[in-house]
């Protein structure tokens, strides 16, 4: 930025301060640093009046240049050098915030959120550090929303595919397991608070085989270890309508969040369903082939009889 001899002067009437520019929102960004510049457009207010700012960062022989202009009443000649760089800092904060804000809005899975989490941790951009608190909050809110959706979607699919057990639907099975788990907690005076009880195995997608267990995941908080809790829940050989109930207790600290567990379970069940489908297709194909062989033999016998008569 060229020296306009304003660094040591008092701010004169009509001069613009960085603080006068508010409600900044990135409208467009263009990154052309290989060509020597980046440019950005921002919606904003200048002294309370709606305006648009255009900022260009330039690479030149002397190092670095900057131009900041506004549409209604150009502020470039009314910005001191120090205030121009302060305003640049505010504008670049918005660039970082808006870029990640938009990306967080588009996240569709918890694994995507986890990748974003690591990316934010590893990015040491100074402008990003100015807005990182807000972005962490937004990412947490996104994770909470996707977690609730993942759990609700998983249960919805279970209700759709679950084959009733002794006339009981999935919700009634989960309720029975919840009562059993709570009884075990009281009986053994355990430090465990159950958050969710969800059917999670092959039966929840209607792809079970004869003799398949009722697999149930129990999401809980507390100090008791997962493996110790598992052993206590299985010591009585709990069963419903003669079907063994396999209870898998998990905590966020050890196994991870329930929603992430269910996302992985969903992927596994989809793969398992595909295998079962192929197995059924194979059986049908074998039956079809057997019928064809039988028919061919009958046809062959008829042909032999005809030949014999001749």
pLDDT digits (tens, 9 = 90+) for 81-107: 999 999 999 999 999 999 999 999 999
Which of 1 and 115 is assigned the larger pLDDT? Answer: 115
pLDDT at 100: 97
Residue 203's nearest CA partner among 282, 279, 276, 278 is: 276
Mean residue pLDDT of the chain comes to: 89
- Mean pLDDT of the 282-305 span: 64
Which of 88 and 310 is assigned the larger pLDDT? Answer: 88
Give the lowest-confidence range in 58-62, 75-79, 217-221.
58-62
- Mean pLDDT of the 215-229 span: 97
pLDDT at 233: 97
pLDDT at 101: 98
Query: Is residue 280 pLDDT above 90, yes or no?
Result: no
Which of 179 and 10 is assigned the larger pLDDT? Answer: 179
pLDDT at 1: 46
- Mean pLDDT of the 24-35 span: 94
pLDDT tens digits along 257-278: 999 999 899 999 999 888 877 7
């Amino acid at each position: 930025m060229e020296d306009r001899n304003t660094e040591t002067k008092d701010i004169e009437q009509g001069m613009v301060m960085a603080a006068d520019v508010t409600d900044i929102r990135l409208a467009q960004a263009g990154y052309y640093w290989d060509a020597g510049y980046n440019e950005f457009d921002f919606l904003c207010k200048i002294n309370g009046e709606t305006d648009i700012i255009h900022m260009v960062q330039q690479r030149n022989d002397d190092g670095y240049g900057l131009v900041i202009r506004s549409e209604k009443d150009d502020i470039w000649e009314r910005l001191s050098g120090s205030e121009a760089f302060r305003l640049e800092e505010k504008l670049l904060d918005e660039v970082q915030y808006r870029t990640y804000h938009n990306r967080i809005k588009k996240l569709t899975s918890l694994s995507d959120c986890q990748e974003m989490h690591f990316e934010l941790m590893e990015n040491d951009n100074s402008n990003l550090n100015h807005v990182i608190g807000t972005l962490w909050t937004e990412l947490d809110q996104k994770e909470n929303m996707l977690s609730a959706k993942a759990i609700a979607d998983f249960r919805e699919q279970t209700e759709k595919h679950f084959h009733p057990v002794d006339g009981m639907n999935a919700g009634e099975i989960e309720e029975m397991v919840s009562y059993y788990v709570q009884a075990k907690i009281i009986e053994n005076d355990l430090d465990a608070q159950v958050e969710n009880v969800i059917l999670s195995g092959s039966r929840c997608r209607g792809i079970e085989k004869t003799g398949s267990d009722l697999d149930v995941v129990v999401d809980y908080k507390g100090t008791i270890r997962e493996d110790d809790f598992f052993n206590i829940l299985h010591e009585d050989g709990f069963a419903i309508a003669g079907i063994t109930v396999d209870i898998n207790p998990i905590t966020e600290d050890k196994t991870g969040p329930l929603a992430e567990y269910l996302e992985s379970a969903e992927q596994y069940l989809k793969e398992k369903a595909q295998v079962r489908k192929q197995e059924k297709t194979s059986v049908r194909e074998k039956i079809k082939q057997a019928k064809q062989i039988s028919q061919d033999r009958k046809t062959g016998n008829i042909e032999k009889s005809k030949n014999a008569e001749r």
